[in-house]
Amino acid sequence: MKNEDMFREPSATLAERLFLETTYPWEVLPKIKAFVSALGPMLDPAEYDHPSDDVWIHKSARLFPNVNIYGPTVICADTEVRPGAFIRGSVLVGRGCVVGNSTELKNCILFDHVQVPHYNYVGDSILGSYAHMGAGSICSNVKSDKTLVVVRGEHNIETGLKKFGAILGDHVEIGCNSVLNPGTVLEPYASVYPLSRVRGVVKRGHIFKAQNDIVQRI
């Protein structure tokens, strides 16, 4: 579950430095806002528009009508932001991503080529390269009892965070209308069946069918 295990190419995000400075990806979450705020003014104005305070959008990005974007936010090259998207700030969206209709992003990093294309909520989360969330799937980021989030794997890890959604490694696939409970970690090439409720850790290359039915991909 360490950064080097989850994200094979940390250079696939402008936040590479954050992942080199930390051990576990959830340690990056409290640092996103300050990092994006500092990153924006350093971007080349020949490449990035600066349409409002703390918002920088690459000139090649395609924004549809009725999109709401608040800072600090950086949207990189060749990304598509579809109608009704709501980007609440503390967000870094990589190259070649899709932020879909009625999708909401908040305090998150999307590596290059991530797709959250239809009715998704991604809060206090990190999605690795080529991760894909099916329509209606969400990252639940606060426990119902408001206690601090624990990553529950072979060994439980106290994160000290009240808000922590999910960490998706590279090439993770999430089925439609699934809920990733707070502190869920999906290692690279893991996948989740539609209509699932996921908690804990799904190992690399495994398929989550149900909480007690997780199998290795053949």
DSSP states of 13-74 as a string?
A: STTHHHHHH-SSGGGGGGGHHHHHHHHGGGS-TTTEEEEETTEEEETT-EE-SS-EE-SSEE
| Two tokens, residue 41 | 């003014």
Letter for the amino acid at 113? Answer: H
How many Å apart are CA 198 and CA 137, to the nearest integer?
11
Burial of 214 (0-12, 13-18, 19+ CB in 10 A): middle
Q: Parallel, antiparallel, or unpaired: how do β-strands 115-118 and 98-101 relate?
A: parallel
* Cα→Cα distances 18→63, 105, 163, 194, Å: 27, 19, 18, 32
Active-site residues: which are they?
118
